[in-house]
Chains A and B, each alone.
Chain A
Amino acid sequence: MSDKNDKSLLEKMEESQVWKSIIRSGIPRTRRQRMHAILGSVFLHLHPARLPKHAVKVGYTWCMGGLSFFLFVNLTITGILLMFYYRPTVEYAFTDIIDLSEQVPLGIMRELHRWAAHSMVLIVWLHMVRVFMTGSYKPPREFNWGIGVILMVLTMLLSFTGYLLPWDQLAIWAVTVGSNMARATPFLGNEGPGAALLAIGDINLVHVGSDVRFALLGGRFVGEATLLRFYVLHCIAIPFVAMIFMAVHFWRIRKDGGISGPL
Chain B
Amino acid sequence: MSEPKNNIAPRAAVGAVSKGRKTTMERRSFFSWLAVGWIGFAGVTGGFFTIILRYLFPNVLFEPPQSFKIGFPDKFAPNSVDISYKKDFNAWIVRDDESIFALSTVCTHLGCTPNWLATDNKFKCPCHGSGFRMTGIHFEGPAPRPLERFKIGVADDGQILVDKTKSYKWEKGEWENKDSFLKV
Contacts and interface: CB of A to CB of B under 8 A. Distances in A.
Q: Do A and B bind each other?
A: yes
Interface of A: 173, 176-177, 208, 210, 214-215, 218-221, 223-225
Residue with the greatest number of chain A CB neighbours at <10 A, chosen from B56, B61, B111, B165 = B61
A220 B63 contact: yes
A223 B58 CA distance: 13
Interface of B: 56-58, 61-63, 66, 110-111, 165
A223 B111 contact: no
B61 A220 contact: yes
Contacts of A208: 165
Given A210-B57, A220-B61, 8 more contacts: A173-B111, A215-B56, A215-B57, A218-B58, A219-B63, A220-B63, A223-B62, A223-B63
B165 A219 contact: no
B85 to A, nearest CB: 16
Contacts of A215: 56-57
A220 B58 CA distance: 11
Nearest to B164: A220
Contacts of B63: 219-221, 223
Contacts of B56: 215, 218
B111 A176 contact: yes
Contacts of A214: 57
Contacts of A177: 110-111
A215 B58 CA distance: 8
Contacts of A210: 57
Q: List the 9 closest A-B pairs by CB distance, nearest first.
A: A215-B56, A219-B61, A219-B63, A224-B62, A223-B63, A215-B57, A218-B58, A221-B63, A220-B63
A177 B111 CA distance: 8
A65 B110 CA distance: 38
Contacts of B110: 177
A219 B58 contact: yes
A210 B66 CA distance: 15
A215 to B, nearest CB: 4
A220 to B, nearest CB: 6
A214 B63 CA distance: 13
B62 A225 contact: yes
Contacts of A176: 111
A220 B111 CA distance: 16
Contact of A225 (B61, B66, B111, B165): B61
A219 B63 CA distance: 8
B152 to A, nearest CB: 19
A226 to B, nearest CB: 10
Contact of B58 (A173, A221, A225): A225
